[in-house]
Structures are given as C-alpha cells and as structure tokens.
Amino acid sequence: MNKQVVLQDLGLKDYKRSWDYQEKLFKETVDVKIKNRREDAHVPTPNHFLFVEHPHVYTLGKSGDITNLLANEDQLAKKGATFYKINRGGDITYHGPGQIVGYPILDLDNFFTDIHKYLRLLEEMVILTLAEYGLKAERSSGETGVWLDIGTPFARKICAMGVRASRWVTMHGFALNINTDLGYFDLMIPCGIKDKAVTSLNVELGVKAISMDEVKEKLVKHFSHLFEAEIKKEKAEV
C-alpha cells in the first residue's frame, strides 16, 4: 500500500480549471487500478491532496436541489460569481476567496475501504485544527461537515464537505471558511439545510484575517496523523 500523498497548493484558481485537474489525477489513478487488475500487476497507485482557493462560485451536487440557489444568472453576474452542476455528493455549496478548499484524491485501497470512515476522518481533521484556535467544533447527526454550537439555536456551519468515489478513488472534498465573505451565503440555502447559519474562523475569533498558510499547515499535520500518510510537497502543475 502506498501511503505517500503528494501535496500541491494551487493558489487562487478558476473552479473549472481546478475541477479538470482533479479529473485528470482521478482518471490516472483509476487507470492504474484497472490495468493492475487486468494484468494481475501491483503498480502502486498515487495519492494527491490539493489545496485551492476559488473565485466566487456556487456548485450543486448530483443529489442537490437547484431551488436552494436563491439567485438567477443576472444576480450571480452582478456578484461576480459563476455556477456549476458537478459530480460530487451533497447539495449546494459556495466557494470563494478566504476559504480553504481541499481536494484529496486518494486510492482508499492504500488506507481503508470505508467511505463513512473517510468522511469522519476529514471532519476530525478540521475539528482538531479548529481546536488549536480554541474552538469546540463538532459533527451534526445526519449532516456531513463541521459545525459550532450544535444542539443550540446558534448552530452554525464552518466547513462543508462533499465527495465522489469510484473504485475506492476519491475526489472533491471540503471547504473551510477562514476569512470568507459570508454575504455570499445569502444567495443560497447552504447544503440545502434551512434555518442554520454559516460562519468563518476570523468571525469566530473576532479578528480581521487569519493566516491561510498557518491553517493549511495544521490541516496537513492532522491529515497525515489520522491517515498515517507521508506528505510529499510538490510545486503545483496547474
């Protein structure tokens, strides 16, 4: 099993361009698995972890409801935002500047073949990271992602998640609000869940901005521990 994970930080990158790059890496890994099975070979499959920050964009998962987007094309254009229907699970999500988006493209045969466990470990990675900032984040029963003050009238979501997996290879991932303009969430019903607010790390800490690189380092630290992975940093190729 190959436990090495290649880490790339794509910086600020167009959503479609990043999606195409994900698809390329995803296909390469799946193709190795298919060839291994066909030829009874044992070529190691690669694992990737992409960090990216997107310009304003709304994405709708394959099981999502378009009515959870509360804006038409003209309204989106005025806000400088785009919209895509995509092939992950989950409902509608917003991505934008000041938000850390993470795309692990892992062959789970290298780790464990359990999608439920995979999602819970991604959530735990975020929960442990936020704990380093003094926040008690937690899961909400039946709702993927990471939340604050669950079970109270002040419940609010700080990290959304939606993944796709085929042949135990994953793509898409999580979106953690750090210095995010929360006004953009007014144009949607986040993840299709009504009456629950959205927040970001800088709002919770009462500061103007938090180092994105610092948060990324903490996420990678917890990811490598939880997945028992060896992280190899490489320069972004896209």
**pLDDT per residue over 25-70, tens digit each?**
999 999 999 999 999 999 999 999 999 999 999 998 888 888 889 9
At residue 63, the pLDDT reads 80
Q: Give phi and psi for 84, each to the nearest 5.
A: -140, 140
Reported in sequence order, the residue ranges of 13-124 that DSSP labels E, i.e. its strands, are 48-53, 57-60, 82-85, 92-95, 99-105
Q: Give phi and psi for 9, each to the nearest 5.
A: -105, 110
Task: Examine residue 83 and state whether it is found in any structural domain, yes or no.
Answer: yes
CATH number at residue 143: 3.30.930.10
Task: Examine residue 45 and state whether it is found in any structural domain, yes or no.
Answer: yes
Q: Report the residue count for the chain.
A: 238
**Strand 4-12, strand 48-53: pairing:** parallel
At residue 97, the pLDDT reads 97
Look at residues 97, 121, 68 and name the one whose alpha carbon lies nearest to residue 228: 121
Which residues are documented as binding site for substrate?
88-95, 160-162, 173-175
Domain that holds residue 19: 4-233
For 202, residues 6+ apart whose C-beta sits below 8 A from its C-beta are 98, 178, 179, 208, 209, 210
Q: How many CB atoms lie within 10 A of CB 212?
A: 19
CB 145 within 8 A of CB 161: yes
Residues taking part in catalysis: 191
Low-confidence ranges of the chain (pLDDT < 70): 190-195
Q: Which two structure tokens, joined as six digits, stand for 113?
A: 């073949």
pTM (global) more than 0.85: yes
Task: Examine residue 157 and state whether it is found in any structural domain, yes or no.
Answer: yes
**CA–CA distance, 79 with 57 (Å, rounded to integer):** 10
**CA–CA distance, 56 with 99 (Å, rounded to integer):** 10
Task: Examine residue 238 and state whether it is found in any structural domain, yes or no.
Answer: no
At residue 47, the pLDDT reads 98
Task: Examine residue 75 and state whether it is found in any structural domain, yes or no.
Answer: yes
Find the helix or strand (DSSP H, E) in which 29 lies.
helix 15-39
Q: Which two structure tokens, joined as six digits, stand for 110?
A: 């290298």
At residue 189, the pLDDT reads 82
Which residues are documented as binding site?
88-95, 160-162, 173-175
Task: Examine residue 110 and state whether it is found in any structural domain, yes or no.
Answer: yes
**Strand 169-177, strand 99-105: pairing:** antiparallel
Counting the structural domains of the chain, the total is: 1
